Structures are given as structure tokens and as C-alpha cells.
Chains A and B, each alone.
Chain A
Amino acid sequence: MIIFLQSILNGLLIGGVYALVAMGLNLMFGVMKLVNFAHGEFLMAGMYVAVGLASLGTLPGALGIFGIYWVALPTMFVMAAVGFAFYLLLLDRAARFGESPQILLTIGLSIGAQGLAQVLRGSSFRLVPNPINGAAIRFGGLNLQLGPAIAFIVALGVTVVMAWILRATRFGKSARAVAESAETAEMLGIEVRRVYLVSTSIAIGLVGLAAALIIPYQYTFPNVGQNFVVVAFLAIVIAGLGNVVGAVFGGLLMGVMQSLTASYFDLDLSTAAIYLLFLAVLILRPQGLFTRGRRTL
């Protein structure tokens, strides 16, 4: 029983990070109808930025063992700026190409970024020494790992904020309008390209935040993004493509499933099981598990 609960707990915590990554992915897909295969590499880039900042030093004093988290906001802003540039330089022009070239573009970017990271930083695994790594709280017989727990809490918080942005702010409503129909939005005077620009910046910013949250306990290396992005893709399809808030539940579900199957089954079979489940959802309920009726974002 303990193993079961521990698995679920671990899964939820990991799922929080998947959720953050998945949210950005789904935002881009929902608004721009773009599948960003390079999303994992933005996570990787964010991790290198965060690690770079963290090696400058951790904030002492009030933050205590949480000192390393000061990098979160700077990383997020840096990555948001990267997303800004990503849209302006590449996506804006590529919007006119078909779906195939866009996918090709992001795949090329993904491969190139991994290569670049290896060239600049080598393939070594990096981890900035910090008290969060390996720290855990025990309660009720369960092990609560601190790093993942913090990531989880922040992820939930961000979800609430994103949901609020989409529901209550003018930008959020414009984004939903554009997601529904770019043509109609334009006729109402909404500058669609501006919405795309901001959405991309937010999406990559979210991934930057996720990066900052995992560097205390997750090794950084050029291909680190690959694991996360595939799971994120599964998560968003299961949640429903374009469903930003639902992506959270998709991420959590993927985390829990990964954790449960790893505890009880052979690693390979559990991977197969997850993909098979995914295929089943895809074929039987393509609109996703967490999308009720018509939702665009």
C-alpha cells in the first residue's frame, strides 16, 4: 500500500513539471495551430541558463535552503525573450508555409539546438550543488522529495494564473478568439500577429520557469529535453489539443502513470503500456479526456 501511495505521490510531483511544459506546448498549438517539436530544447536551453545563473551563486539569508530558486524569475524572463525572438525571426514568416514545413522547421531547430548545446557545453551532465538535491520530508511513512514538491506547487499556482489570464483578461479572451478563428478575430480588429507573438513568449517563458524549477535536482545535458517533450506531447493529446488548463491534468496523469507502472512493472513494459494507452485515447477519443464538448483554450 505504501508503495502505491508513494508512487502516486512521486507521479504527481513529476507530473507538475510535465504540466508546465505541456501548458506552453498547448498554448502554442491552440492559438497558432503549431506543433512545436523544439519545445523540449527550449526547456534544455532554459536549464542551461538557469544553471549558468545558479553557478554565479545562491542567495543566502532569508531564502535558506531555497536559495537556488532566485534564478526562476530571471530564467523565465530570459526565455520569454527567446520566445519573442523565436516568433519574430522564424515563426512569423513560417506562418505562411504549410503544416509540413512548420514541423520540419521545429524539428530542424530541435536537432540544431541539441548540437549547439553539445558544442558549447559538451555532453557532460551538470548539476549545481545545492541543498535541495536529494532533500526530502518524511510524513506518514511517505517520502516527499523537496525539489519535485516545490515544482509541483509552483506548477499548480501557474495553472491558476494561466486560467485566470485566459478567462478574465482582455489578452486571454483575444487569444481564445484567435484560437477559435483567426479570421473572425481580425475582422473584430484584433491584431492576430501580436497575439501570436505574446502567446509564444508566454509559452517559452513557462518552459523557462519549468527549467529553473528542475535544475536543483535534475541533471542538465544536451538531450534532456527529449524525454520531457515526448511525455508533454502525450499529455496534451490526452488532455485535448489546445486545452491549456486541461494540459495540467494531462501532465499529472502522465506523471502518475509513469510512476505507477515503473513501480509495479518492468520498465520497458510500462513504457509500452503508456504508449498503448495513449494510442487508445488517440483513436477512441481524439478530442482528449479532459475536454468537454467544444473548447479551444
Chain B
Amino acid sequence: MRRALVILMVWMAAAVGLVSSNDYFVSVATTMAFLALWAQSWNLLCGLTGNISLGHSVFVAVAAYVTVILFQQAGVSPLLGGLLGILGSVVLAGIVGAATLRLRGPYFTLATLSAAAVVLSVILHYSELTGGPSGLAITFAHDSPFDLEFTNVRAYFLIATGLLATVTLILDLLKRSKLGFYIAAIKSSEEAAAAAGVRVALVKVIVFCLSAALTALGGVVYVFYIGFLDPNFLSGLTLSVEIALIAVVGGINYLIGPIIGAIFYEAIDTAANATFGASGGWDVMLLGFAVVVLVMTEPRGLCELAIRLLRLVRGRPARSWS
């Protein structure tokens, strides 16, 4: 029932997007979908361990660059190149995940931040291949689904929301699988899970890799949507912070948390831009202070806040999504 609701919700958004004649609205909704997708994937890892990764953008960057370089320089279709790109991110995740197994809290956060910084530096350095700091433009010839190229931005919107729905579904299904059980056990008590024979270290690394793979998946499509690779953005702290922020603001214990968070984030951004113009810092300022107000009111995120409000209104506990 829950699952059906999620899918319904997402495809309703899709329908609205299809119908909408406002290109701007559709592009905002598309960005929202990508952000939500990344936040969902982030949540898989960080909801488990309670740590905060501020380096997730690196998985977007690695997959994006691999896919685009293969596409531009070797003519490999992004559908295949994308798989290789995702593989690259997964390998990186395996290394970082294994290396940071014993790190907690701020140590873990700084390690992920550093990993992203290292990759960014590497991308900037090998500029003949990657285009360096000026980035890479994706040559657009004609509409071609296999090359992930569409003139109509609604196509990207559909793909993005489809991916979001898929990822959400995957995460929901995961809960009923063996891996899902192990993840829940580790989350409650690593000690007890280990004492019951759960391979804690292995599960953590697998989760890291899975989280990276889903993030990378979004990244591959995203760069074709944007049509341009900006290394400072794709592997940058700003994007990593955005992703983490959206997930935590939405509520890390809820399946729709990241989706709500993305809507909140983009809504404020769009409203600020509409009212005060795109430059001048208003969007950033309003966003930051909105987060501060939210955390002080309900540190557990928007979903919790909504539940609290519903309880007040109805006088009885509302259903919780998780």
C-alpha cells in the first residue's frame, strides 16, 4: 500500500510535468528530482551508520566524467558508458568504504570530504582528458535516446522521476531482503549484530557501494540534462553539502524524507530567485536560515515536523512512513 502510494505520487508529478507548458517549472522539477534521487542514495548509507558523508558528489563526478569521456572520445553510447561510469564509482566507494570502516562522526565526515577533494584535484590536473577547470561541454547533435540526448526537457524530467521512483522502490524492497535485515540489525546495535554472526564490515562496504551506484546513476543522466560538466560543481563540497542537507532536512528515518527535503530546498531556492533575482545571495541566505530555523524547531527533519503538526491537528498519532 505504501509502495503504491509512493509510485502514484511520483508519477503524478510526472504527469503534471508532461502537461505543464512552463519550461521553467519543468526544469525546476527536474532538478528537484535529481536532488531527491541523490539524497535517497545518500540516505541509504548515512541512515545506516549515523555518520554524515560530505563527499557524495564524487560519485556523481566519477561516473559523469567516465561516461562523457567515453562518449565524446570513443563514441561509446552513454547507456553502456554509464554502466562503466557507475562501476568506476562503485570501485571508488569500495576503497573509501573499506578505508573508513573504523571512522566515526567528524572523522568520517572529513575523510569523505577529502576523498572528493582528491578526485576533484585529479580531474582538474588531467585537463587534456577532462577539460580541466573549464569543464567539458557535451556535443549535442540530435535527439537520440541511446545517447541520452533530448531537446525536450520533459524527457529528462520523466527519466529523472522514473529513476527516483525506481530508487525509492529499490530501497523499500531492500528492507525485506536479507541485506535489509542485516542493515537494520547493524543500525540498532553493531555489537549485537556481530554477536549474531552478521558480517558487519562487509555489509557496510556493500551499502557504501550501493549508495554510490545509485548516486552515480543519477549523475550520468544529470550531466546529459545539463549538457555540461563543471568539475568544481560535480566533485565539489557545495553539491555534497546540498545532498546531505536535503536528506537530513527531510528526515533520514523516512523513505519519502529526501523527496520532501528536495522539494523544500528547491522551493525556497526558486521562491528566492523569483522574488529577489538569481544573484545577490538571497537564495543562499534564505536557505541557510530556513535550515537553522527548521533544526531548532524539529531537529529530526520535516517529516517529523509534519507528523507533529498532524498529531496536533487530529489529536491522534498519524501513520509514520519508514
For B124, what are the chain A residues with a Cβ–Cβ distance below 8 Å?
268
B107 CB-CB contact with A under 8 Å: yes
A117–B285 alpha-carbon span in the complex (Å): 8
Chain A window 178-206, contacts with chain B (Cβ cutoff 8 Å), 1 for yes, 0 for no:
00000000000000000000000000000
Chain B window 106-127, contacts with chain A (Cβ cutoff 8 Å), 1 for yes, 0 for no:
1101110111011001101100
B121 touches A272 (CB 8 A): yes
B114 touches A119 (CB 8 A): no
For B249, what are the chain A residues with a Cβ–Cβ distance below 8 Å?
104
A114 touches B291 (CB 8 A): no
For B146, what are the chain A residues with a Cβ–Cβ distance below 8 Å?
none
Residues 260-295 (chain B) with a chain A CB within 8 angstroms: 279-292, 294-295
B148 CB-CB contact with A under 8 Å: no
Residues 241-297 (chain A) with a chain B CB within 8 angstroms: 241, 266, 268-269, 271-272, 275-276, 278-279, 282-283, 286
B288 touches A100 (CB 8 A): no
B288 touches A111 (CB 8 A): yes
A69–B291 alpha-carbon span in the complex (Å): 36
A93–B296 alpha-carbon span in the complex (Å): 8
A222–B295 alpha-carbon span in the complex (Å): 23
A117 touches B281 (CB 8 A): yes
For A279, what are the chain B residues with a Cβ–Cβ distance below 8 Å?
99, 111, 114-115, 118
Q: A110-B288, A234-B110, A279-B111 are in contact. Are A119 and B295 (CB under 8 A)?
A: no
A231–B102 alpha-carbon span in the complex (Å): 23
Instruction: Name the residue of chain A whose CB is nearest to the CB of B284.
Output: A115
For B294, what are the chain A residues with a Cβ–Cβ distance below 8 Å?
108
Instruction: Name the residue of chain B whose CB is nearest to the CB of A265.
Output: B125
B295 touches A105 (CB 8 A): yes
A286 touches B107 (CB 8 A): yes
B241 CB-CB contact with A under 8 Å: yes
Contact among A93, A103, A282 for B107, CB-based, below 8 A:
A282
B36 CB-CB contact with A under 8 Å: no
For B299, what are the chain A residues with a Cβ–Cβ distance below 8 Å?
94, 97-98, 100-101, 104
B317 CB-CB contact with A under 8 Å: no
A112 touches B295 (CB 8 A): no
B121 touches A109 (CB 8 A): no
Consensus secondary structure, chain B interface: helix
For A275, what are the chain B residues with a Cβ–Cβ distance below 8 Å?
114-115, 117-118, 121
A282 touches B118 (CB 8 A): no
A109–B124 alpha-carbon span in the complex (Å): 30
Distance (Å) between the CB of B232 and the closest chain A CB? Answer: 11
B125 touches A272 (CB 8 A): yes
A230 touches B113 (CB 8 A): yes
Q: A98-B299, A100-B52 are in contact. Are A118 and B285 (CB under 8 A)?
A: yes
B287 touches A282 (CB 8 A): no
Contact among B109, B110, B111, B282 for A119, CB-based, below 8 A:
B282
Q: A101-B299, A104-B295 are in contact. Are A112 and B287 (CB under 8 A)?
A: yes
A23 CB-CB contact with B under 8 Å: no
Distance (Å) between the CB of B237 and the closest chain A CB? Answer: 8
Distance (Å) between the CB of B311 and the closest chain A CB? Answer: 20
For A90, what are the chain B residues with a Cβ–Cβ distance below 8 Å?
292, 296
Distance (Å) between the CB of A83 and the closest chain B CB? Answer: 16
Distance (Å) between the CB of B251 and the closest chain A CB? Answer: 11
Contact among A108, A230, A234 for B288, CB-based, below 8 A:
A108
- Interface range, A side: 35 or more
For A269, what are the chain B residues with a Cβ–Cβ distance below 8 Å?
121, 125
Residue of A108, A109, A230 most packed against chain B (CB within 10 A): A108
B75 CB-CB contact with A under 8 Å: no
A55 CB-CB contact with B under 8 Å: no
A113–B237 alpha-carbon span in the complex (Å): 17
A85 CB-CB contact with B under 8 Å: no
Distance (Å) between the CB of A289 and the closest chain B CB? Answer: 14
A266–B126 alpha-carbon span in the complex (Å): 11
Chain B window 189-230, contacts with chain A (Cβ cutoff 8 Å), 1 for yes, 0 for no:
000000000000000000000000000000000000000000
Residues 58-116 (chain A) with a chain B CB within 8 angstroms: 90, 93-94, 97-101, 103-105, 107-116
For A42, what are the chain B residues with a Cβ–Cβ distance below 8 Å?
none
A237 CB-CB contact with B under 8 Å: yes
Contact among B113, B115, B118, B288 for A113, CB-based, below 8 A:
B288
A108 touches B295 (CB 8 A): yes
A97 touches B117 (CB 8 A): no
B100 CB-CB contact with A under 8 Å: yes
For A115, what are the chain B residues with a Cβ–Cβ distance below 8 Å?
281-289
A107–B289 alpha-carbon span in the complex (Å): 10
A35–B107 alpha-carbon span in the complex (Å): 10
Contact among B99, B281, B287 for A118, CB-based, below 8 A:
B281
Interface residues of A (CB under 8 A from B): 29, 35, 90, 93-94, 97-101, 103-105, 107-119, 122-123, 222, 226, 230, 233-234, 237, 241, 266, 268-269, 271-272, 275-276, 278-279, 282-283, 286
Identify 6 residue pairs between A and B in the complex whose beta-carbon atoms are under 8 Å apart, listed by A's number. A93-B296, A104-B299, A108-B291, A115-B282, A234-B114, A271-B121
In the A-B complex, the 7 residue pairs with the closest CB atoms:
A112-B288, A115-B285, A118-B281, A108-B291, A115-B284, A111-B288, A101-B299
Q: A94-B296, A100-B52, A233-B110 are in contact. List 17 more A-B contacts (CB 8 A).
A: A90-B296, A101-B299, A103-B52, A108-B287, A108-B294, A112-B284, A112-B285, A112-B286, A114-B284, A114-B285, A271-B117, A275-B121, A278-B114, A279-B118, A282-B107, A282-B110, A282-B114
